Structure 1
Amino acid sequence: MTHTLSLPIPTSVGSIDQYIQFANRIPLLTEQEEKTYAHRLHDDGDVEAARALVLSHLRLVVAIARGYLGYGLPHADLIQEGNLGLMKAVKRFDPRRGVRLVSFAIHWIKAEIHEYILKNARLVKVATTKAQRKLFFNLRSLKKDRNALSPDDVSAVAAQLGVKPEEVVEMETRLGGQDVPLDGGRDDDDEHFAPIAYLRDPAAEPSELLANAEQAQLQSDGLVNAMAALDERSRHIISARWLTGDDGKAATLHELADEYGVSAERIRQIEAKALKQMRGELAALA
């Protein structure tokens, strides 16, 4: 006879640390207990059995989610998405297959977290293919240290993951970006200045607002003129790279390289030259 998990799911907790403590206090199931609960769910649709299976594996979600903290998303959100994957795994788990739930659930938990990161991470959404997703989630572990990849390392990673070297370089650049906290944390040091300390008041005086509006109009007109001064290829590259469409996606260097039949480095050079020309046009309005 199996024991019944008596711990309720808390409706609210004071902190993520308290939730983690709660998850770690829930007893693990033995293999026989797990099979019994799984059969009750699979054969009879027993909701309490499903609850027991989910609760006993919350600590697994916590552990997996901790491995994705480097993507700039809150640990609590990662755990929540992982819990959704766990519930999907429990629903689909068949005890007759002879595997433990933990082995079966890992795939579903990671898949749900991966999908959440791709949709919500601060990074520009470049992982659009299966190979790029694999690159996105494996590049950190493949790097030997925090230094930039050497050309040989880039080639090795590209070959291992089945992507282009240009994609490895671009992904490494984007993964290397860091967010700047607005409030800088709770630091009482007088020499510590976070952005919140020096951001200007949005309620500026009317004369300054008018001057800013006029300047913005001049820059907008200047941008149109600067774009018009570019050749057709440069204009298309700048538009594709900087002026995203309704889907919110900007073209990557390798995508434009494939379109024009040149290297990604050549596209970068054309982009840099066009931006320099446009800055010259806009500087005249300053």
Structure 2
Amino acid sequence: MTQAFALPALPALGSAGGSAGGSIDAYIQAARQFPLLTQEEEFRLATRFRDEADLDAARELVLSHLRLVISIARGYLGYGLPHADLIQEGNIGLMKAVKRFDPQRGVRLVSFAIHWIKAEIHEYVLKNWRMVRLATTKAQRKLFFNLRSMKPTSETLGPGQVADIAHRLSVKPDEVVEMEARMSGHDLALDGDTDDDEVFAPITYLADSSSEPVRVLENRAREHLHNEGLQSALASLDPRSRRIVEARWLVDENPATLHELAAEFGVSAERIRQIEVKAMQKMRATLTLLVAEA
């Protein structure tokens, strides 16, 4: 599906450089005006978009789920990033989800879209929040994004809780303590603002998640990408590009720097960076194709 679609006019979202409070409130109020779809309506619209490339059907699907993006984005306010920007990134993920949604799979769009919305917001956080740059390994990134929700209260973790989280996330206890200290002062109730009449937090918007069909589909897709998908993507690279990607991104400790790899291959650090960028783009294209074929 190569067609593009855009949202109709809504109150403009503010940016990090201006006062966004008023526009955020107006945007949220406007998003609430779009009705939720029944399962039959959603199936009909998704089928029209898939089979006929009907952009009006795609817009209706997106608009009916804007409140979901707002709710998910609120859960990331603790990272100190603008709410408006988080919503904008989440909307991009929602539109990607609509493009990839197959109504024949038997799951609701709201469930399918959560993965794509969070993926875009995660990418934005990783690129823009200064503290996350200290989390260079996959395990540390996992700790960064999960520690807040795994803490039972806003109180400092006790030794037993630290040990339990460290075990569950496969990191060292010291890393849990250090990350908690870095993130202190950004505590946020993930259920949202109780004074706000926006009630579409994920816990109320979705059915019981313990046996959600999308969880099964996401787990299968994730396992496929982590195993066959990643190997296929790496196999598409030339030996030098593969070595650079593996040394920079696929080691749990002490990833190689651009200068170290430059010395290894006898080129400049800028040349290593260029090779890395092209390799990541090629891998991303391969993984996207595998997801589309899944």
**1:234-267 deviations in Å (ceiling 9; x for gaps):** xxxxxxxxxxxxxxxxxxxx957xxxxxxxxxxx
The one-letter amino acid of 1:12's match is A
Q: Is the Cα–Cα contact under 8 Å of residues 118 and 127 in structure 1 kept in the other structure?
A: no
Q: Do structure 1's residue 145 and structure 2's residue 160 form an aligned pair?
A: no
| C-alpha distance in 1 between matches for 2:171 and 2:32 | 40
Runs of 4+ in 1 over 6 A off after TM superposition: none
Q: Is the Cα–Cα contact under 8 Å of residues 124 and 174 in structure 1 kept in the other structure?
A: no
Instruction: Specify which of 133, 137, 141 is matched with residue 133 of structure 1.
Output: 141
Deviates most, 76-85 or 125-134:
125-134
Match of 2:257 in 1: none
**1:180-215 deviations in Å (ceiling 9; x for gaps):** xxxxxxxxxxxxxxxxxxxxxxxxxxxxxxxxxxxx
Match of 1:209 in 2: none
Q: SS at 2:26's partner residue?
A: helix
Q: Gapped runs of 5+ residues in structure 2?
A: 1-6, 14-21, 187-251, 255-294
Q: Do structure 1's residue 59 and structure 2's residue 60 form an aligned pair?
A: no
Q: Do structure 1's residue 10 and structure 2's residue 18 form an aligned pair?
A: no
| C-alpha distance in 2 between matches for 1:25 and 1:102 | 17
| C-alpha distance in 2 between matches for 1:148 and 1:77 | 30
| C-alpha distance in 2 between matches for 1:19 and 1:143 | 31
Q: Do structure 1's residue 37 and structure 2's residue 41 form an aligned pair?
A: no
Q: Is the Cα–Cα contact under 8 Å of residues 72 and 122 in structure 1 kept in the other structure?
A: no
Q: SS at 2:176's partner residue?
A: helix
**Structure 1 136/120 Cα, relative in aligned 2: closer, same or farther at 3 Å?**
same
Pairing 1:162-241 to 2, within 5 Å after superposition? 162-176=170-184
Match of 2:85 in 1: 77
Instruction: Specify which of 83, 104, 112 is matched with residue 112 of structure 2.
Output: 104
| C-alpha distance in 1 between matches for 2:82 and 2:148 | 19
Q: Is the Cα–Cα contact under 8 Å of residues 11 and 27 in structure 2 kept in the other structure?
A: no
Match of 2:127 in 1: 119
| C-alpha distance in 1 between matches for 2:75 and 2:61 | 23
Count of aligned residue pairs for this structure pair: 175
The CA deviation at 1:132 is 2.1
| C-alpha distance in 1 between matches for 2:135 and 2:109 | 30
The CA deviation at 1:154 is 1.4
| C-alpha distance in 1 between matches for 2:124 and 2:177 | 24
The CA deviation at 1:138 is 1.5
Match of 2:201 in 1: none
The one-letter amino acid of 1:104's match is F
**1:158-186 deviations in Å (ceiling 9; x for gaps):** 001111212212211211266xxxxxxxx
- Give 1 or 2 for the bigger CA radius of gyration: 1
Instruction: Give the aligned CA root-mean-square deviation in angstroms.
Output: 2.1
Q: Gapped runs of 5+ residues in structure 1?
A: 1-6, 179-253, 257-286
| C-alpha distance in 2 between matches for 1:26 and 1:106 | 19
| C-alpha distance in 2 between matches for 1:62 and 1:97 | 26
The CA deviation at 1:9 is 2.7
Match of 1:281 in 2: none
Match of 2:267 in 1: none
Higher RCO (C-alpha under 8 Å, 6+ residues apart) = 2
| C-alpha distance in 2 between matches for 1:26 and 1:128 | 41
| C-alpha distance in 2 between matches for 1:151 and 1:255 | 24
Q: SS at 2:162's partner residue?
A: helix
The one-letter amino acid of 1:140's match is R
Identity of aligned residues (%): 69
